[in-house]
Amino acid sequence: MPELPEVEVVRAGLAPAVAGALISGVSVFDERALTRHPGTGLDFEAALTGRSIRAAVRRGKFLWLPLESAAGEPASEAIVGHLGMSGQLLLREPGAPAERHERVRIDLQHPVHGDLAVVFADQRTFGSLAIDPLVQTMDAAAGGFGSPDPVMPVQVAHIARDPLDPAFDDAGFRRALSRKDSAIKRVLLDQTVVSGIGNIYADEALWGARIHPETSASALSTRAVNRLLAEVRAVLDKALAEGGTSFDAQYVNVNGQAGYFAHSLHAYGRTGQPCDRCGRPIVRVSFMNRSSHFCPYCQKLRR
């Protein structure tokens, strides 16, 4: 599933193409792409056509495109997108051939870039688009990356800030961990505690911080939590710089290009290979219907 770096790469690619663009038409080819939308495909098409997009914004793994309201008034609705396991948001020229697994196409008229199309393609149909009301953030800070407005969609309101967000509360994160007896990896994957981190980057950050994934979150010292936060940020920053992690053709940017952070992985997917720090083999164990990858020598279990 795409994690923060992959979704941020998509957001950054969409932003210059959609900000200020007029939606000239919408085509819904598969209503399974609207599972989180309260209306029908026809409603989705009619509600968007003729409206303008303000920006492309992200919090955690969620993207949204705020829609213009009356002149001078803050946006009150947005198109919310979640990529699920295989969703793609692609920029295409007008009249471009349909993408494989294309579910929705949004035609745009941009004052600088001219006519464009945003295509939502999704092989496994776990992703979605929806029109959602915007609500105020609890801390009055910007709702997410890409816009200074202190609003976010209702569907995103339960999602915590991510560690790269300027408004992320380090002290609050340390307090949250001190109250959690769950394994630290489970806590890192809890999007209500900290967002944007999935299986790949959790394994990488824990390897960097020398913390076993099954260590109780509440057992971590302040120094260990600070070290872990620093590693999370370093891993996410490096993945962003390298365009995210692509293991197959599903994880691509808006132009269909793959990221190459997979070549920089130290733990995830490296079962049996030597640890880049100590040379001993990386192991893989089952974890929450997924897998954890770590070095049992460098990351000793401390409960």
For residue 244, the model assigns a pLDDT of 54
Q: How many CB atoms lie within 10 A of CB 296?
A: 14
- CATH 3.20.190.10 in the chain, residues? 4-155
First-residue to last-residue Cα distance in the chain: 29
DSSP letter assigned to residue 240:
H
User: What pLDDT sits at residue 185?
Assistant: 96
Q: In whole angstroms, what separates CA 146 from the centre of its chain?
A: 13
Quote the CA–CA distance of 302 and 219 in Å, as a whole number. 8
Q: Are 299 and 210 in contact (CB under 8 A)?
A: yes
Q: Could you give the CA distance from residue 51 to residue 22 in angstroms, rounded to a whole number? A: 6
CB atoms inside a 10 Å sphere around CB 224: 17
Confidence label for 124 from pLDDT (cuts 50, 70 and 90)? confident
Domain with CATH 1.10.8.50 in the chain: 170-294
As beta bridge partners, residue 28 has: 104
**Mean pLDDT of the residues in the chain:** 89
Q: What would the pLDDT profile of 176-190 be if each residue is shown by its tens digit?
A: 999 999 999 999 999
What whole-number distance in Å separates Cα of residue 211 and Cα of residue 193? 18
* Residue 269 in this model has a pLDDT that exceeds 70: yes
Looking at domain 4-155, its CATH superfamily turns out to be MutM-like, N-terminal (3.20.190.10)
| Residue in the block written with tokens 């997979």 | 262
Binding-site residues, in ranges, read 101, 124, 180
Q: Which residues are catalytic?
A: 2-3, 61, 290
Instruction: Report the binding-site residues for DNA.
Output: 101, 124, 180
How confident is the model over 213-217, as a mean pLDDT?
96
Evaluate whether 101 touches 122 at the Cβ level (below 8 Å): yes
What CATH fold (topology level) applies to the domain 170-294?
A: Helicase, Ruva Protein; domain 3 (1.10.8)
Predicted local distance difference test score (pLDDT) of residue 69: 75
How does DSSP assign 153-185, residue by residue?
A: EGGGTTPPPPTTSTT--HHHHHHHHHT--SBHH
3-class secondary-structure state, position 119: strand
pLDDT at 264: 72
Whether the predicted model's global pTM rises above the 0.75 cut:
yes
CB of 195 within 8 A of CB of 226? no
Condensed to tens digits (0 to 9), the pLDDT of residues 10-64 reads 899 899 999 999 999 999 999 999 999 999 999 999 999 999 999 999 999 899 9
